[in-house]
Each structure stands twice: as structure tokens, then as C-alpha cells.
Structure 1
């Protein structure tokens, strides 16, 4: 999923810039549980974070990258929120835009970046089908929860699961000449096959 966002550095006052910078530094040193700030030192208005899929939800085990776009009217006007990671969710449009009351009619100037990110994380736990941007997901959530959950987990498995770590790859390489080499190779091929099958399933849905 590709996005193009224009920087708003020139549109924000120095006072707001300092406030945002300070909050982002605080969030980096003391992040909320399951949320990690991804800083962009060249553009402070490029606010990105990785949100861990909450346990007990179809998003568990996934890592979802989100972006906040500050408008020139910030903080009087709410920022816009986007999922950069593909996700099947009632309140997330196909272009990644997030629909949540906190970023709409319930916005308050005192809300900070932390409050917004926590709200988005809560949205993964408790979706709101009444303000659905993805009508199909909203309908499934209300009428066929098992089908909704299955589709959401499928998206999570394909798009939001972290890649295999270099350490795991090294362990596989070390065993490449050992007796378990065939087993590891088989596991890897099976995983790739399952991923391809999931992608085919998504195309049919």
C-alpha cells in the first residue's frame, strides 16, 4: 500500500512544533504498552507508530504501522489517521484512512499524540460498525462475526506479521547441513505455500 503525504512543517507555528517534538520524545522514552514511535528527524510532522495487535482480537500477533497527518490548523483541528499496514476493519477505509470520533466531532485541542494512538489501539479491540468506512467489514462484524474474525486474521497473517528475524535465519543456516535440514526446508516451503494460499483466498473474497 503506497501513500503520499505532504509535509506540513512550514504550516505549523514554532510553538506547536516544539510541543509536538517534546511529546514525541517523551513517547519514545516512555512508550504506551504495545505502541512504538517511529521517528522521522527530517520531518516532525511525519508521525508514525507501530501498534501491536491486542491479544484476544483477530489482530493479535500482528504489528500495524499507522501514520498521523497534522493539518495546518492543529491542534484546533484534529489530525488525520491512516493505517499504512493493510487491515480488515470496519473503521478503516481501503486507502487506510481511520474513522474514529476522537479524530472527528469529539476532538479536543488538549488531546495529544499519545491519546490518539491509544484510541486507535482501542479501536482494534472494540470496532465501531456504526461509523464504518469499510461497509463489508461492518456488516460482517454485526451479522457474521466468525466470518469477520476469519477475514481479519487472514489480513493480519499476510500483511502484519513481522518477518523472520536474522537470528532465526542464522539458526536455519547453521542447521542447513545437519540432520534436521530437510525438516527446516520443509517447514519453510510449507509456510510459503500457506502464505500463497492465503493470498489466493483473499483475492477470491
Structure 2
């Protein structure tokens, strides 16, 4: 059973600032697993936590809590229980794109200079996209020259989602995808959709999506069991055969 707490941010600030209270009366509702996560992240031992100032950690904690309580449409956060600076989320492929129906795991790594320097962004789910390298690295101006210290995690995740709708072939990390997007869009669409069907609609992807739902409850209006999930369950045998055929086709590409 999930228990809901009302937690005063003064207490969290006390924990993160070494005993010095910071005056604020704002309160946020947390589910029990989020409250536990915030306590864990305040302790030393995480890979990058000790490199960040208490003020930065406090801001990250607030953003994580807000994102879990009020996730943007199509984006669900999956906080790391080991390292609060390792931000992972699932992004639903936008309709009308070759990524529609897919669930894409992404990762933001907050470096020791964050927020003065932008985090690094990666797709953990394989994707055929002009602005995503073979190792998953994401190239988008928001993570490069357009970065500003007051940009939050929510803004970054929404920017990555928008990148699935509006790829930028001019800053391509995947040159083949960029060329196809400009010169042979139908081929680009087919290739990207094939990769989505194979990697972003797998049983593993569905499991990851459920884990995200459990850790970060959606708002009451969010659809957590939509037609894509039902169709995936109903057509499992057909989908498995298609996946095998497409994997063989990809090996020849």
C-alpha cells in the first residue's frame, strides 16, 4: 500500500545543508517511495552527490519530487535510488512520427559543474534519429550552446521529446539518418519506425514503462493503459514474428 506524506521542505533543507535551516514554508505531497528516495540521496556515497553543493542537491531534489508528482504528458521520471544525479525517464513516442507507440528510455547525467554546465543526455533505447549517436548521445542545442543555468530537468526532458517530433539534420550525429531525412523521407520514416518496433515496443520496454509508473504516479488524467499497450498484448504472437523478420532485415542493412 502506498502512504502519502506531507513533507515540509524546511526539514529537507536542514538535511541537505548540514543542519542549517533555510526559511521556506512550502509543502509538497510525496508518496512513500519518493520520500525514501530523497532521504537516500541526502546521504554520502552516491557517485556524483558529493561533488555537488547542498544548494544544487536541494534544487534537484525539488525538481525530482515535482516531476514525480506532476509528470509532463508523455514523460515519466524514474529516479535512481543510488544516485540522484543520474536522471532517467521514459518518453512516449509522439503520434504522427515514426516513433509513435514506442517507449524510449533516456538518461541525463549531471556533472560536477551542473548547473553552470549542461548535463549529458543519452537515449538508452536504440533509436534511428539524426541527432542521436550510435552510443545514444543526444545532440540538441539546449544541451550545448543554448544551455542556461536556470533551465530545469523538466525543460530538458520536454526538449528531448520535441526532438522526436522535429529532428535537426543540420547537427546530425547519425549522418545516414540526417541524409535520409532530407533526401528520402519515406525511407527515413520506414527505417526509424522499424527500429521503434524492434527496440521501443519490446517486452523489456513495457516492463520499464510499468516501473516508471510505479515510481512516479501519473496525474489523474494520464492514460497508463492506452490502446498501444492493449494492442501490444493482443498481437503478441504476430508482433514477435514481425520482430524476428525485422531483426533479420536490419542485419542486412
**Which TM-score applies when normalising by structure 2?**
0.68
Q: Distance in 2 between matches of 1:39 and 1:80?
A: 16
Q: Does 1:155 align with 2:195?
A: yes
Which secondary structure state, in structure 1, belongs to the residue aligned with residue 203 of structure 2?
Answer: coil
Q: Distance in 1 between matches of 2:89 and 2:236?
A: 30
Q: Distance in 1 between matches of 2:238 and 2:201?
A: 16
Residue in 2 that maps onto 1:101: 141
What are structure 1's unaligned runs of at least 5 residues? 1-5, 167-186
Q: Distance in 2 between matches of 1:109 and 1:154?
A: 37
Q: Does 1:204 align with 2:244?
A: no
Residue in 1 that maps onto 2:240: 192
Q: How does 1:101-120 map to 2 (within 5 A)?
A: 101-120=141-160
Residue in 2 that maps onto 1:10: 50
Could you report, residue by residue, the CA deviation over 1:129-187 in whole angstroms, capped at 9, with x for unpaired residues? 00000000000000000000000000000000152979xxxxxxxxxxxxxxxxxxxx6
What are structure 2's unaligned runs of at least 5 residues? 1-45, 208-234
Q: Distance in 2 between matches of 1:99 and 1:131?
A: 7
Could you report, residue by residue, the CA deviation over 1:7-61 in whole angstroms, capped at 9, with x for unpaired residues? 3112111110111011010000000000000011321011000000000000000
The structural deviation recorded for 1:190 is 3.8
**Which TM-score applies when normalising by structure 1?**
0.84
Aligned length: 180
Q: CA RMSD in A?
A: 1.7
The structural deviation recorded for 1:194 is 1.6
Quick check: 1:7–1:46 contact (8 Å CA) kept in 2?
no
